[in-house]
Amino acid sequence: MTVAIVHLGAGNTASVQFALERLGAEAVITADPAVIADAERLVLPGVGAAGYAMARMADLGLTDIIKGFERPLIGLCLGQQLLFETSEENGGATMLGFIPGEVRRLDVGPDRPVPHMGWTKLEGLKDDPILEGVSPGAYAYFVHSFVCPDTDATIACADYGTEVPAMVRTGNRWGCQFHPERSARAGARILQNFLSLSI
């Protein structure tokens, strides 16, 4: 099983690689279009801001390859946000558009700090192979200041004063707003499920 982790710049790519290696997968961090096109699994990790990540993707000639990838793909943190149409981050960005809607700044009132940083329960788990063996109420580690819109694609959510879509799915593409590579047992299970998907 070869997993390509798309390298768009400094970010949490190594920790994702190490988590996949702990599960026995061969994971490479790469920006090579040929390697990405041939991979059995694709990971879009969270790097910088939405506009920056999309610009890097275009500069590296990866946008169409990622859009056309037919095997399982997962976006992590910002990577989940990139699956949506647009983001209001840094004055606006057009993204991959697999799921309709705009990613917006977290608006949670004065009682909760932003970024949403820490361990929050996963709730409202849908019946999806990537969530197999994950219990409702399992904690996952979140770090984000922007939040995806709640759509039909939401398969798990988290409560942070507002409904946070914690995981999404559309066809062969999944997203995690939290960091599965840093979410202890539940995160490892989700990554294991991602490696085991048969579609």
Choices 32-40, 125-133, 165-173, 183-191 (CB under 8 A): range interacting with another protein: 183-191
Nearer to another protein, 134 or 153 (CB): 134
Q: Are 28 and 6 in contact (CB under 8 A)?
A: no
Rule CB under 8 A: is residue 11 a binding residue for another protein?
yes
Q: Which of 118, 133, 136, 171 binds another protein (CB under 8 A)?
A: 118
* One character per residue 39-68, x = contact with another protein (rule: CB under 8 A): -------x-xx-------------------
Q: Are 130 and 190 in contact (CB under 8 A)?
A: yes
Q: What phi and psi, each to the nearest 5 degrees, are found at residue 33?
A: -55, -35
- CA 58 – CA 138 distance, rounded (Å): 36
* One character per residue 75-114, x = contact with another protein (rule: CB under 8 A): ---x-------------------------------x-xxx
Nearer to another protein, 121 or 172 (CB): 121
Locate 115 and state its tokens: 């970024």
Nearer to another protein, 15 or 86 (CB): 15
Q: Are 45 and 6 in contact (CB under 8 A)?
A: yes
Q: Which of 61, 115, 133, 136 binds another protein (CB under 8 A)?
A: 115
Q: Which of 28, 65, 139, 195 binds another protein (CB under 8 A)?
A: 139
Whether 77 is catalytic is yes
Binding positions for another protein, rule: CB under 8 A: 9-15, 18-19, 21-22, 46, 48-49, 78, 110, 112-121, 139, 141-145, 159-160, 179, 181-185, 187-188
Residues noted as catalytic? 77, 179, 181
